[in-house]
Amino acid sequence: MKTMTRGELAKECGVNIEALRYYEKRRLIDPPMRSEIGYRLYSNEDAARIRFIRNAQKLGFTLNEILELLKLRIKKNESCEPVLEKAQKKLNEVEQKIKGLKSMKKVLKKMIHRCEESTLTSDCPILGSFESGREL
């Protein structure tokens, strides 16, 4: 079995050493084996787990959600339905965020359109909008 030091694992997986420490603290990865002189030694399985975590994070899953997914991953002969449900829930959250971002974009465009470059900041419609009691 090939082993890697913490630095080698971090480099291979594209994370920093602090992230590895944090993942271990959050129990996303198991405590590593130790060499005779005390170096932490990680396996290819650990590297696969780090890649799993990073890829799930890129899709917006929180570390708590990732921990749940990792627990499901261990259950090799179980139905994939719980994973599908979690993915669908995440998709719904992403769609809500997109809706919110589109709304923000619309308001910002209106504010920018109302603003003139030569206006003083005391008369700036953007700054005035932030101070108004109206909802944006």
DSSP secondary structure string, 48-116?
HHHHHHHHHHHTT--HHHHHHHHHHHH-TTS-SHHHHHHHHHHHHHHHHHHHHHHHHHHHHHHHHHH--
The domains of the chain are located at 1-78, 80-136
Question: How does pLDDT run across 41-85, given as a tens digit for each residue?
Answer: 999 999 999 999 999 999 999 999 999 999 988 777 788 899 999
- The percent of residues in the chain predicted with pLDDT above 90, rounded, is 68
Question: How does pLDDT run across 88-104, given as a tens digit for each residue?
Answer: 999 999 999 999 999 99
Question: Mean pLDDT for the chain?
Answer: 91
Domain topology for 1-78:
Multidrug-efflux Transporter Regulator; Chain: A; Domain 2 (1.10.1660)
- The rounded radius of gyration (Å) of the Cα atoms in the chain is 23
Residue 113 has pLDDT above 70, yes or no: yes
Residue 118 has pLDDT above 70, yes or no: no
